Structure 1
């Protein structure tokens, strides 16, 4: 059996130093295990790591023919979003403003969601897509990790 949990999310970074600097500008602190070659941020419930894209391809034993995106390539959606759920609706607006100041591309300004919450989207410099969301049904544990909604 595979345990039903997510413990680590790794983003393949084309420019690790620049991507690390972006998340630092968001106010996120990296861990002592971080280095110039690998970076880890502690979040509530899941670790977020940054690892060089080419090295991640090798580590996952993917085909050498997997295309490496060019640093200046037009961003495209990769079919995955990451989310930061907040505890109050006004926190969505504040978080999006912080992301804007850190250099994010705002994809969708904060707005009331059809399902009763508040939501917005931004992309980091390498176009990893993040949703900032307030869900009135969300339940958080004592660490701030969302455990249900």
Structure 2
């Protein structure tokens, strides 16, 4: 049986130094082994890493998609503890050069949500769910 665990997520970066600067501009803390060739950010539950997309495709043995504007069918989420954090984070993303895809708004499911794209069109949702439960590290346990 495979462990039911996600420990690391890697984004294949077309321009790793530029994408790294974007996440740094959000105040995200990196590990000591981060560089413009491989960057790793500490988050509450998993590590988020950036790796050159050509190397990632080669390592996985798959062809490289050349169009970074095409939706890749994956979104990431930042779930927050307080409703006002959705708007605060989106403003930080805007100041850092991210593209706001959906302005913060109340969601049909009772929370608040917004979407943004980073500099390479990786999609992120920022959401507050009144039923979310987080552990002491900020990792989401339930919603």
Q: Same fold (TM over 0.5)?
A: yes
RMSD: 1.0
Deviation of 1:67 (Å): 3.6
Task: Tell me if the contact between 1:105 and 1:123 (Cα under 8 Å) persists in the aligned partners.
Answer: yes
Q: Equivalent of 1:69, from 55, 62, 66?
A: 66
Deviation of 1:29 (Å): 1.5
TM score, norm. by length of structure 1? 0.93
Q: After superposition, where does 1:1-149 map in structure 2 within 5 Å?
A: 1-62=1-62, 66-69=63-66, 75-149=69-143
In structure 2, stretches of 5+ residues that fail to align are none
In structure 1, stretches of 5+ residues that fail to align are none
Deviation of 1:61 (Å): 1.8
Higher alpha-carbon deviation: 114-123 or 29-38: 29-38
Secondary structure of the structure 1 residue equivalent to 2:73: coil
Deviating above 6 A after TM superposition, structure 1's stretches of 4 or more consecutive aligned residues are none
TM score, norm. by length of structure 2? 0.97
